Amino acid sequence: MYDIAVIGAGIVGCSIARALSKYQLKTVLIEKEPDIANCTTKANSAIIHAGYDAKPGSLKAKLNVLGNSEFDEICRNLDVPFKRTGSLVVALKDDEVATIHNLFDQGQKNEVPGMEILRQSELRRIEPNISDDALVALYAPTCGIIGPWELAVAMAENAVDNGVEIMLNAQVKNIMKIGNRYVLSVNERKIYAKYVINCAGLNADEINNMVAFPKFHIMPRRGEYNIMDKSIGKLVNTVVFQCPSKLGKGVLVSPTVHGNLLIGPNSEDINEKDNFETTKEGLRYIIETAARSVKKLPTGSVITAFTGLRARCEGDDFVIEEASDAKGFINVAGIESPGLTAAPAIADYVLGILKEMQVEMAEKSDYEEKRRPVIRFNELTNAGKQRLIEQDSRYGKIICRCETVTEGEIVDAIHRNVGARTLDSVKRRVRPGSGRCQGGFCSPRVMEILARELGLDISKVVKDHPESYILTAQTKETNMFDLNDVNFIARECVTNASRI
Amino acid sequence: MQAEYDVVVIGAGPAGLAAAIEAKKNGVERVLLVDRDRELGGILQQCIHNGFGLHLFKEELTGPEYAERFINELKELHIEYKLETMVIDLSKDKVITMVNSKDGLLTIKAKAIVLAMGCRERTRGALNIPGTRPSGIFTAGTAQRFVNMEGYMVGKRAVILGSGDIGLIMARRLTLEGAKVLAVVELLPYSSGLTRNIVQCLEDFEIPLYLSHTITRIKGKHRLEGVYIAGVDGNRQPLEGTEVYIECDTLLLSVGLIPENELSKAANIELDTATNGPIVSESMETSIDGIFACGNVVHVHDLADYVTLEAQRAGVSAAEYVKGLLWKKRTDICIRAGQGVRYVVPHFVNVDNLKDTLELFMRVDDVYKDKNLLIKLDDEILTTMKKKRLVPGEIEHIEINAKMLKEKSVSVLTVEVQKEGA
Interface test with B, best of A475, A480, A481, A487 (most B CBs within 10 A): A475
Q: How much is the mean pLDDT over chain A? A: 93
Active site residue A415: no
pLDDT by residue (tens digit) across B352-378? 999 899 999 999 999 999 999 999 998
Subunit contact B36:A401, Cβ cutoff 8 A:
yes
Task: Give me the torsion for CA of A460, A463, A469, A473, rounded to 10°.
Answer: -60
Nearest CA in chain A to B254: A440
Q: Which residue of chain B is at minimal alpha-carbon distance from A477?
A: B177
pLDDT of A172 above 90? yes
Whether B223 and A227 lie within 8 Å, measured CB to CB: no
Could you list the beta-strand ranges (E) of B220-367: 226-231, 244-247, 250-253, 257-259, 291-293, 333-337, 341-345, 348-349, 357-364
Q: Which of A305, A396, A436 sits opposite B101 (nearest CB)?
A: A396
**Which run of H or of E encompasses A308?**
strand A302-313
Contact B99 A303 (CB under 8 A): no
Q: B330 pLDDT exceeds 90?
A: no
Indicate yes or no: CB of A440 within 8 angstroms of CB of B131. Answer: no
Over 90: is that where the pLDDT of A490 sits? no
CB-based contacts of A346: which residues, under 8 Å, 6+ apart? Answer: A12, A15, A16, A63, A67, A318, A320, A332, A335, A339
Contact A175, A207 (CB under 8 A): yes
What's residue A258's pLDDT? 96
Report, as an integer, the average pLDDT of A19-23.
98
How confident is the model at residue A38, as a pLDDT? 95
| Edge-to-edge order in the sheet of strand B333-337 | B348-349, B333-337, B412-417, B368-377, B380-390
Distance (Å) from the C-alpha of residue B15 to the closest C-alpha of chain A?
19
DSSP-assigned letter for residue A197: E
- Structure confidence at residue B230 (pLDDT): 98
**Minimum-distance CB partner of B104 among A280, A390, A437:** A390
Would you say B170 and B191 are in contact if contact means Cβ atoms under 8 Å apart? Answer: no
What was the pLDDT predicted at A488? 42
> What is residue B195's predicted lDDT score, i.e. its pLDDT?
87
Predicted pLDDT at B409: 66
pLDDT classification of B283: cutoffs 50, 70, 90? very high
Say what percent of chain A tops pLDDT 90: 92
Q: Tell me if B222 and A282 make a contact (CB, 8 A cut-off).
A: no
User: Is a pLDDT exceeding 70 seen at residue B179?
Assistant: yes
Cβ distance of B151 and A393 shorter than 8 Å: no
Chain B residues touching residue A458 (CB < 8 angstroms): 150, 152
Question: Do B169 and B144 touch, CB atoms closer than 8 A?
Answer: yes
Q: Give the pLDDT score at A491.
A: 44
Among A418-432, A467-481, B325-339, which stretch is predicted with the lowest mean pLDDT? A467-481
Beta-carbon separation of A444 and B145 below 8 A = yes
Residue-wise pLDDT tens digits, B130-177 = 999 999 999 999 999 999 999 999 999 999 999 989 999 999 999 999
pLDDT band at A476 (very low <50, low <70, confident <90, very high): confident
**Res A498: pLDDT:** 40
**Mean pLDDT, residues B56-73 taken together:** 97
Which amino acid is residue A444, in one-letter code?
Answer: P
For residue B147, give the nearest of A401, A469, A475 by CB distance.
A475
End-to-end Cα distance, chain B: 63
Q: What's residue A497's pLDDT?
A: 41
Mean pLDDT over B182-201 rounds to 93
Q: Say whether pLDDT at B1 is over 60.
A: no
Q: Which residues contact B329 (CB under 8 A, 6 or more apart)?
A: B281, B285, B289, B348, B350
Distance from CA of A332 to the nearest CA of B (A): 27
A340 or A247, which is more confident: A340
Q: How far is CA A88 from CA A100, B39, B89, B421, in A?
A: 10, 50, 35, 58
- For residue A499, pLDDT over 70 is answered with no
Distance from B402 to chain A by nearest Cα, in Å? 40
Query: B217, A393: Cβ pair inside 8 Å?
Result: no
Q: Which residue of A has its CA nearest to B219?
A: A277
| For A387, nearest residue in chain B (alpha carbons) | B104
Contact A396 B100 (CB under 8 A): yes
Per CB-CB distance under 8 Å, the chain B contacts of A441 are 120, 142
Cα separation, B228 vs A443, in Å, equals 26
pLDDT of residue B193: 86
Say if residue A492's pLDDT is above 50: no
Q: What angle do CA B209, B210, B212 make, to 5 degrees?
A: 135
Residues of B with Cβ-Cβ distance to A465 under 8 angstroms: 221-222
Cβ atoms of A164 and A178 closer than 8 Å: no
Residue of B152, B156, B222 lying closest to A458 (CB–CB): B152
Tell me the shortest Cα–Cα distance from B214 to chain A, in angstroms.
13
Q: Judge: B222–A303 Cβ closer than 8 Å, yes or no.
A: no
Q: Report the gap between the CA of B133 and the closest CA in chain A (Å).
A: 8
List, for residues A178-228, the tens digit of each pLDDT value: 999 999 999 999 999 999 999 999 999 999 999 999 999 999 999 999 999
The winner for highest mean pLDDT among A310-319, B66-75, B192-201 is B66-75
Q: Tens of pLDDT along B6-21?
A: 999 999 999 999 999 9
Picking from A260, A283, A397 by the largest number of B CB atoms within 10 A of its own CB, the best residue to mutate is A397
| Residues of chain A contacting residue B99, judged by C-beta atoms under 8 Å apart | 385, 389, 396, 398
Residues in chain A closer than 8 A to B142 (CB atoms):
439-441, 443-444
Query: What does the pLDDT read at residue A484?
Result: 45
Q: In this predicted complex, what is the ipTM? A: 0.94
Chain B residues whose CB is inside 8 A of the A476 CB are 177-178
Q: What is the pLDDT, as a whole number, of residue A477?
A: 47
Q: Which residues of A touch B141 (CB under 8 A)?
A: 440
Q: What is the pLDDT of residues B377-393, one digit of tens each?
A: 988 898 999 999 999 98
C-alpha A375/C-alpha A380 separation (Å) is: 9
- Nearest residue of B to residue A460 by CA position? B152
- Report CB contact under 8 Å: B135, A276: no
pLDDT, one tens digit per residue, over A96-143 is 999 999 999 999 999 999 999 999 999 999 999 999 999 999 999 999
Judge: B131–A278 Cβ closer than 8 Å, yes or no: yes
pLDDT given at position A144:
98
Partner-chain contact A436 B120, CB within 8 Å: yes
- Nearest-by-Cβ selection for B130 from A279, A397, A472: A279
Q: Which residues of B touch A467 (CB under 8 A)?
A: 221-223
- Packing angle, helices A423-430 and A407-415, rounded to 10: 110
The answer to whether residue A47 scores a pLDDT higher than 50 is yes
Tell the burial category of A450 from Cβ atoms under 10 Å away from its Cβ (0-12, 13-18, 19+). buried
Q: How far apart are CA A64 and CA B404, in angstroms?
A: 75
Taking contacts as CB-CB distances below 8 angstroms, the residues of chain A near B216 are 280
Q: What pLDDT, on a 0 to 100 scale, did the predictor assign at position B2?
A: 75
| Chain A residues closer than 8 Å to B133 by CB | 276, 306
Hey, of B1, B99, B157, B262, which one would you mutate to test binding to chain A, going by the most A CBs within 10 A of its CB?
B99
Percent of chain B with pLDDT over 70: 98
Q: Active-site residue among A49, A217, A258, A415?
A: A49
pLDDT tens for each residue of A51-95: 999 999 999 999 999 999 999 999 999 999 999 999 999 999 999
Percent of chain B with pLDDT over 90: 88
Chains A–B, number of C-beta pairs less than 8 Å apart: 139
Interchain contact, B136 vs A396, CB within 8 Å: no
Q: Once rounded to an integer, what is the mean pLDDT over residues A450-455?
A: 98
